[in-house]
Amino acid sequence: MLGAPSYLELDRQGLLAERINTAQEILKECTVCPRLCRVDRRESRRGKCRTGALPVVSAYHPHFGEEAPLVGLYGSGTIFLTSCNLRCVFCQNWEISHKMEGAEVSHRRLGEMMVELQGMGCHNINFVTPTHMVPQILAALPYAIDRGLSIPLVYNTSGYERVETLGLLDGVFDIYMPDVKYMDAAHAKRYSGAADYPETARAAVKEMHRQVGDLVLDSRGIAIRGLLVRHLVMPGGVAGTREVMRFLAREVSRDTYVNLMDQYRPCGAAHRFPEINRLIAAQEFEETLDATVGEGIARLDSGVGTRLRPRERV
């Protein structure tokens, strides 16, 4: 089937069931993410993510505020998973990631949500903060496949991933959408409690690209497979944009599709950090845009906005 999501073939070969079993074993002494908490989440012991054996969902609905290739005509079928393995002090989804807004659901119910979103016309199923929920997503997928799921899955992540866990997703997710937040370990530790974020995210993004390649769009401009990278511009150059773009251009691909985001605002606990307790200035964004193009990345999402020069639009 032309353009069919790769998970359908994985399921047909019986390999999806093997991945599910492996992931469930990992939950016994959880090493799903780089935190390596090693708690038995099947017994509802809680590590950094504070979640147990079942999926925890905050909301699900068609989303029209995502990147243009995901939204298309009828929206991205977004499932907001509760909690996050990265503890960013400026998180814009604070209620979900820090305050744990959401409720446990069965694997079957999570599968039903996917099919419901497909029935609404959504072009993809977009899992927001899926890292700590990889075993749960895999366990829910057969229920969705049995009910006719046939659209791509999007892995919408902070970028704080284990390559070993991503290996379980090879052939499951057709679209990876990681953030690349920082290239400086001190900033990563101060604002996200993860000094190893830069090296971890680098390895994760390279593995994602190995699996799915550059972003591929269909005749309507809708994403069907590939890598899409988000980068949030932060006050005072905290995010290290030039270094991020240099990494993408030199170590991943000059054709990496990038959403350079100018929407930073001091949410959550950002007010405790004076240097990031403000919006970014227009001049700061212009400088990061120049740095991005200067490093050889020109495939930018149209949603970057009016500051984006017409010749640089996708």
Phi-psi region of 226 (alpha: psi -120 to 50; beta: other; left: phi over 0): left
**Exposed, middle or buried by CB within 10 Å (0-12, 13-18, 19+), for 103?**
exposed
Phi, psi of 74 (to 5 degrees): -120, 10
Helix, strand, coil: what percent of the chain each, to 5?
40, 15, 40
In the numeric block, the tokens 């992931």 are attached to 23
- Could you tell me which CATH number the domain at 6-40+56-312 has? 3.20.20.70
- The predicted-structure confidence for 280-298, as pLDDT tens digits, reads as follows 999 999 999 999 999 999 9
Q: DSSP secondary-structure letter at 195?
A: T
> Which residues on adjacent β-strands are paired with residue 260?
231
Query: Which residues are CB-neighbours of 120 under 8 A, at least 6 positions away?
Result: 62, 74, 75, 77
In the numeric block, the tokens 């927001």 are attached to 128
Would you call 133 helix, strand, or coil by DSSP? Answer: helix
pLDDT in tens, the chain (314 residues): 347 999 999 999 999 999 999 999 999 999 999 999 999 999 877 899 999 999 999 999 999 999 999 999 999 999 999 999 999 999 999 999 999 999 999 999 999 999 999 999 999 999 999 999 999 999 999 999 999 999 999 999 999 999 999 999 999 999 999 999 999 999 999 999 999 999 999 999 999 999 999 999 999 999 999 999 999 999 999 999 999 999 999 999 999 999 999 999 999 999 999 999 999 999 999 999 999 999 999 999 986 643 443 333 33
Q: Which pLDDT score, from 0 to 100, does residue 303 have?
A: 67
Domain segments of the chain as ranges: 6-40+56-312
